[in-house]
């Protein structure tokens, strides 16, 4: 695996790989890798000839009072994991390389960026779309792989790719969970053992909604009520949002008759966690078959 730290080196390595090997798949990450990230790498390998990944803790997607400084950084371990998975190219730029002094240009997907996490984290998605657009421009992948764990991010990136005519195919991969249901996240490392148990309320709330929906309840208000009640029952968990929305427009829906995204965000201590489920579950997520 080649590790590239500059834009120029990454760009030429990716061009060479596409020229000699064919279809290039790309997995952008912020590092502190877990099985969720590795599932994206495996999905990329299933449909691409060569796989590139990036590790970059993107400062522009963190708010002023968020966890940029504490965000886990484990480069050596991550590098080994990606090498073991057979990733050929790893891009690990510095902040100065990605945002040289004087950078003032942003990519904003209007409207969508103010919904769900965008409402609670102003500027977050502007940071995400700006860095992903820059990464797409550097890597020029044929396909890029994102986790359904960040469902709003998937909707926003798909919209950006359409609007800016990026020749990149976007695949959303299913959420990878711990054995007890907690969605894997680099931020789970912040949780102490007690909080780790309390955090299960998020998944429980989604399962409760899913069960009620399977039992015939289509009213989104009632379904949301059941989900919020489940979160409220875990006293130490503070709800940010519990919403049922259209998975593309992220607008609230009233009756769950078509594809719906049930999404929750909540604080366990200082740690903000998110999780979601699609109804019906297999809905929009593509999990490419192995070649």
Neighbours of 121 (CB within 10 A): 19
Q: Report if residue 184 touches ligand AMP, rule: CB under 6 A.
A: yes
Nearer to ligand AMP, 173 or 245 (CB): 173
Nearer to ligand AMP, 43 or 223 (CB): 43
- State which of residues 173, 206, 261, 265 lies at the interface with ligand AMP (CB under 6 A): 173
* Residue range at the interface with ligand AMP (CB under 6 A); choices 16-24, 132-140, 176-184, 203-211: 176-184
What tokens were used for 258? 């078509």
Binding track, positions 265-284, relative to ligand AMP; x by CB under 6 A: --------------------
The CA distance from 116 to 4, in Å, is: 34
Selected binder of ligand AMP within 37, 79, 115, 272 (CB under 6 A): 37
Q: Coil, strand or helix: which one is 156?
A: helix
Q: Which of 7, 13, 24, 36 binds ligand AMP (CB under 6 A)?
A: 36
Residue 24 Cα distances to 6, 8, 87, angstroms: 19, 17, 11
Alpha helix positions (H), 104-171: 117-120, 124-139, 151-163
Nearest distance from C-beta of residue 194 to ligand AMP, angstroms: 22
Smallest distance from ligand AMP to CB 29, Å: 4
Catalytic residue among 34, 37, 124, 203: 37
C-alpha separations of 165 from 139, 201, 266 in Å = 15, 40, 35
**Could you tell me the smallest distance in angstroms from the CB atom of residue 273 to ligand AMP?**
11
Q: Is 34 a catalytic residue?
A: no
Beta strands in the chain (DSSP E): 2-4, 24-29, 50-55, 89-91, 143-147, 169-173, 237-245, 260-268, 271-279
């Amino acid at each position: 695996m080649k590790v590239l730290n500059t834009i120029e080196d990454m760009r030429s390595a990716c061009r060479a790989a596409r020229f000699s090997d064919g279809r290039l798949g790309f997995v952008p990450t912020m590092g502190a890798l877990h099985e969720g990230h590795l599932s994206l790498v495996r999905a990329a390998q299933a449909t691409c000839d060569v796989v590139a990944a990036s590790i970059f803790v993107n400062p522009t997607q963190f708010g002023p009072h968020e966890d940029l400084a504490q965000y886990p950084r484990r480069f050596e371990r991550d590098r080994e994991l990606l090498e073991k998975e057979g990733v050929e190219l790893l891009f690990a730029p510095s902040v100065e390389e990605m945002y040289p002094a004087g950078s003032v240009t942003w990519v904003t997907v209007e409207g969508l960026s103010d919904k769900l996490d965008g409402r609670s984290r102003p500027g977050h998605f502007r940071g995400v779309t700006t860095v992903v657009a820059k990464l797409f421009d550097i890597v020029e992948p044929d396909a890029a792989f994102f986790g359904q764990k960040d469902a709003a991010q998937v909707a926003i990136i798909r919209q950006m790719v359409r609007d800016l005519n990026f020749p990149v195919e976007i695949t959303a991969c299913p959420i990878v969970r711990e054995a007890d249901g907690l969605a894997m996240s680099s931020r789970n490392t912040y949780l102490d053992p007690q909080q780790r148990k309390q955090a299960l309320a998020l998944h429980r709330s989604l399962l409760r909604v899913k069960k009620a929906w399977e039992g015939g309840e289509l009213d989104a208000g009632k379904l949301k009520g059941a989900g919020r009640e489940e979160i409220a029952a875990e006293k130490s968990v503070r709800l940010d949002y519990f919403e049922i929305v259209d998975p593309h427009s992220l607008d609230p829906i009233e009756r769950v008759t078509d594809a719906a995204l049930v999404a929750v965000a909540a604080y366990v201590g200082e740690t903000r966690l998110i999780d979601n489920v699609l109804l019906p579950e297999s809905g929009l997520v593509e999990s490419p078959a192995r070649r």
